[in-house]
Amino acid sequence: MRENLFEIGAKFDDGWSSDNKNKVKSEQKEIKEPNKHSLYFVKEKRRGKIITIVQPFFLEDKKLKELLKKLKTSLGCGGTVKNDTIELQGEVTSRVKEFLQSEGFRFKK
């Protein structure tokens, strides 16, 4: 009887390697103080509703999520953090700008 009747996959001794074993987090992201930020707004329409996006934030993930929680509480709207941006439901640019300026953030002119 044959030994390797059902041989599936690559032989790693032939120069193949697995790419999912040692995933390293991407490079360290830059952290800045709130007054060093230069934020701007983007509005998108998703499924017929307006989303307000504020970007780019240079904060640790934990701090950014805390900021989002404060924003959602004070504005009474939903939102999420994605890729160093904050996405909020609705057209809330003026209220978000006031809140973030009171927290020490700056905006592009």
Q: Where are the beta strands (DSSP E) in 9-84?
A: 40-46, 49-55, 79-82
Distance CA 87, CA 77 (A): 11
Going residue by residue through the chain (109 aa), what tens digit of pLDDT does each one get? Answer: 555 555 566 555 555 555 555 544 555 678 888 888 889 899 999 899 999 999 989 999 999 999 999 999 999 999 999 988 999 999 999 999 999 999 999 988 7
Distance CA 46, CA 52 (A): 11
Total residue count of the chain as it appears in this document:
109
Region for 65 from its dihedrals, namely left if φ exceeds 0, alpha if ψ lies in -120 to 50, beta otherwise: alpha
**With respect to CATH, is domain 31-102 assigned 3.30.780.10?**
yes
